[in-house]
Amino acid sequence: METPEDELCFPLINNSCKKIKHSNTDAAFSFTVLTTITLLTVLLNLLVIISISHYRQLQTCTNLLLLSLAYSDLIVGMLPMPVGILFYHGCFLLGDFGCSICEFVSYLVTSVSVGNMVMISIDRHVAICDPMFYHTKVTYIRVQACVIFCWLFSIIHAIWLLRKMLQQPGIYNTCYGECLIIVNKIEAVFDLVVTFIAPIIIITVLYLRVFVVAVTQARALRSQVTSVSMQHSATKKSELKAARTLGVVIVMFIICSCPYYIFTLLLDSGLTDSSGVTELWLIYFNSCINPIIYACCYPWFRRAIKSIVTLQILKPGSSEINI
C-alpha cells in the first residue's frame, strides 16, 4: 500500500523517510517549550561570555573555565538545539552533509563540557585542599593551555569517532531525510569511558575530598576571631562558596548526562528501542541551566547583567570598574 504524500518528509523523492506523527497540541507545546529553552540558552550564555570577556576583574582562572563552558553551551544553543527542533517530526532537512556537521558539533561540545567539568573540579580541589600553593600551581597561562588542549582533544576525538560519516555523509542512512550514526562497539566503549565513566570518577573523588576539607575549614572558621583571621576567613569563605556553586553545576551536569549514557548502554545491549530524543534534550538542557545557576549564586553575574542591559558597559573605562 502506498504511503500518502503528507506522511513523507520529501514527497517528491522516492526514497523519502516517513514523518513521525504528533498531535497538533503536542507539536505546538513541544515547539514552544524547546524554542524557549533554546533562546534562553543562547541569551544567557552570551551574557556570561560578554561579562567575563569585558570586565577585567572577572578574568580569573576559575572564570576562564566558566568562559570555555559558556562557549560550548552557546554552540549547543546555536546548532544542536535548533536542529533538534527541526528534527521533531523525524525529518532531517539539512541534507547528509548537514547531518555530519551537526553530529560532529554535538560530539564536540559534549566532550568539551566534560573536560571543562573535570578542570573545574581540579581547580576547586587545589583552591580548597592546597590554598597556599593555588596561585603558583594554577596560573592563567596554565589554565589557558588546558582549555586549548581540551578543545583540541575534543575536536580530534569527534573527528576520529565520526571519520566514516565525515568522509561519506549519509553512509548510515536508510532513507532520505534521516540522520543516523553508527559507532562500532569498541569505539563506543572507549567514548563512554573517556567522556563519561572516567570523568565522573575523577570529579566524584575530587569533590568528595573538597567536601571533607570544606567541612573541616568551616568548623575552623567559627573559632577565628582576630582581625587577621577575619581577613583570612573571608578568603576561605569566598573559596568555599565558589566550590559549592561549581559543585551544583557539576551535580546538575551529572544528573542531565546520566540518562543519555544509560540509554546508550541499553541501546547497545538491545534492551531498548527508544529514540533517545528526551535523553539527548536533557543534555542540551544542561547548557541552559549553567548560567541560571550563576545568576542565582554569583552576585557579580547579576551586576554584570544589569550593566549590560542598561548599556553601562558601553561607557569608556567600564571594563575596569569593580563588578
* Domain-embedded: residue 104: no
Contact 124, 242 (CB under 8 A): yes
Residue-level pLDDT, tens digit, the chain, 323 residues: 445 556 888 888 888 998 888 888 888 898 999 999 999 999 999 999 999 999 999 999 999 999 999 999 999 999 999 999 988 888 888 999 999 999 999 999 999 999 999 999 999 889 888 888 888 999 999 999 999 999 999 999 999 999 999 999 989 999 989 898 887 888 888 888 888 889 989 988 988 888 888 777 666 666 655 544 445 455 556 666 667 777 888 888 889 888 888 887 777 666 666 667 888 889 999 999 999 998 888 888 899 999 998 988 988 888 888 87
Distance, in Å, from the CA atom of 59 to the CA atom of 56, rounded to the nearest integer, reads: 5
Domain for residue 188, yes or no? yes
Is there a domain that residue 202 lies in?
yes
How many domains does the chain divide into? Answer: 1
**Within a domain: residue 156?**
no
C-alpha cell at 18: 516517513
Say which amino acid occupies 169.
Answer: P
- Beta strands per DSSP E along 60-168: none
- Distance CA(38)–CA(75), nearest Å, equals 11
Domain enclosing residue 244, as ranges: 31-91+117-136+184-216+231-320
**Residue 264 maps to which CATH number?**
1.20.1070.10
> The whole model's pTM is what?
0.88
Whole-angstrom Cα distance, residue 33 to residue 30?
5
All 3 cell numbers of residue 140?
592563567
Query: Would you mind telling me the total number of residues written for the chain in this entry?
Result: 323
- Please enumerate in sequence order all residues whose Cβ is within 8 A of that of 63, keeping only pairs 6 or more positions apart, or say none: 52
Question: In this structure, what DSSP letter does residue 37 have?
Answer: H
Asked whether residue 105 is domain-assigned, the answer is no
Q: 127 in a domain, yes or no? A: yes
